[in-house]
Amino acid sequence: MKWMKKVFWVLLAVFVGFLLYLGGMIFYASSTDYVPEAVEIPQLHGEAIKSSVPDTLNFLNWNIGYCGLGEESDFFYDGGELVRTPEAWVDKNAEGIREYLRSLLGETDFYLLQEVDVEADRSNNKDQMKFISEGLNAYVSAFAPNYKVGYIPIPLTEPMGSVLGGLGMWSKYYPGKTSRHAYEGNYDWPTYLFFLDRCFLQMRFPTSHGKELVLINTHNSAFDDGSLKAAQMAMLREVILAEYALGNYVIVGGDWNQYPPHYMGVGEMGLRKDQQDEKLFVSPQFLSLDWTWAFDSEVATNRSLISPYDPDTTKTGIIDYYLLSPNVELLEVKTDDLDFAYSDHQPVRLKVALKGKAKEENPE
């Protein structure tokens, strides 16, 4: 029976070791947890035009997937296997993303990017804000962290490690004010210690009409039961209605992690039954009909990460788009089909015109 006692003590030691490891991770995460203020002021980098913005403006919105989720990638949290992306893949994606952004310099006033890593094990600790900024001369930039965790211990066989990533914005015009706004709501303890602290990044610009352009870059919750999205959307609605009531021009772009109202699928493809859950949509009652949801219904903006990209089998949809206040006229919106070469999302371009007279009365 001696061998049974040895097995018992070995199993006990393993169990106790696991508990100590788990407790240590939770203690470390608790002691280093990033707890942002409701509103924070990011540092600005670079030079830009210091004047009011023109009436016709061009935007680009793109979740770049921390340069780690190109066409060859899957992701463990979506049912795939990849945790940390090989350095060669990260470099390939980063170069492709920067060159694409540079190719649109002459026709883009604002870049709104999500999932930009500054220092993260999952993307080989490359500063992507700096790398992208080196290709965007004469733009001012700001960064708002939404994923700041000292050590993520999952999966146990290959932990994600440390992450510092978030939202990046680049503007051809110098903003009057830039601010990071923490979204309300979070996961329960201890899960929230290892998940994102969602936020939106806002820039304000003077216009020739005596009102401000309020530009918002958002990245809403993905892996939740719908309650976090609802809380975030309620907060965003309150903010943008208050701005519009003041007569300001409001443009929101980002990765909403939900379909726009009345979304029916990409091109001729209808939604599958597993895509028709109302929690996956922005409610048609979210805002009045004079607000515009701007998206290109012909080209998908996001793909499944359960396996590498296959144009014939990979599930896709549209969760990246813009929201325009009634005093902003939609001129064009177009998703550039890059076949998900550099990210699991596709870039969405927008052209708008600020109407000559900003609406003064309360839109509600």
Residue-wise pLDDT tens digits, 239-292: 999 999 999 999 999 999 999 998 988 876 777 767 778 778 999 999 999 999
Sheet containing 348-354: order of strands: 44-45, 140-152, 161-171, 110-117, 56-63, 348-354, 328-335
Judge if the upstream peptide bond of residue 159 is cis by omega within 30 degrees of 0.
Answer: no
pLDDT, tens only, 280-331: 899 999 999 999 999 999 999 999 999 999 999 999 999 999 999 999 999 9
The pTM score is 0.91
Judge if the upstream peptide bond of residue 190 is cis by omega within 30 degrees of 0.
Answer: yes
Residue 99, classified by CB atoms within 10 Å of its CB into exposed (0-12), middle (13-18) or buried (19+), is: exposed
